[in-house]
C-alpha cells in the first residue's frame, strides 16, 4: 500500500514541477521537488 502512495506522490510531484516551470512559479517547482524527495524516501523505505 505504501508503494501505491509513493507512486501517486511521484506523479503529483512531477506535475507540480512541470506546472511550476510552465507558470514560471518557483513555489510549484519547490513543492514538486520536496514531494519527489518524499517519494524517493517512501520508495526506499518500503524496499521498492
Distances (CA, A) of 9 to 33, 38: 11, 8
46 pLDDT band (50/70/90 cuts)? Answer: low
Q: Which pTM does this prediction carry?
A: 0.72
The total of structural domains in the chain comes to 1
State which residues form the domain around 34: 2-46
Tens-place pLDDT, residues 12-42: 888 888 988 999 988 888 888 888 888 888 7
Amino acid at each position: 500500500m505504501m508503494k501505491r502512495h509513493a507512486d501517486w506522490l511521484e506523479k503529483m510531484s512531477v506535475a507540480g514541477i512541470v506546472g511550476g516551470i510552465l507558470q514560471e512559479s518557483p513555489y510549484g517547482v519547490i513543492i514538486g521537488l520536496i514531494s519527489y524527495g518524499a517519494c524517493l524516501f517512501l520508495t526506499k523505505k518500503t524496499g521498492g
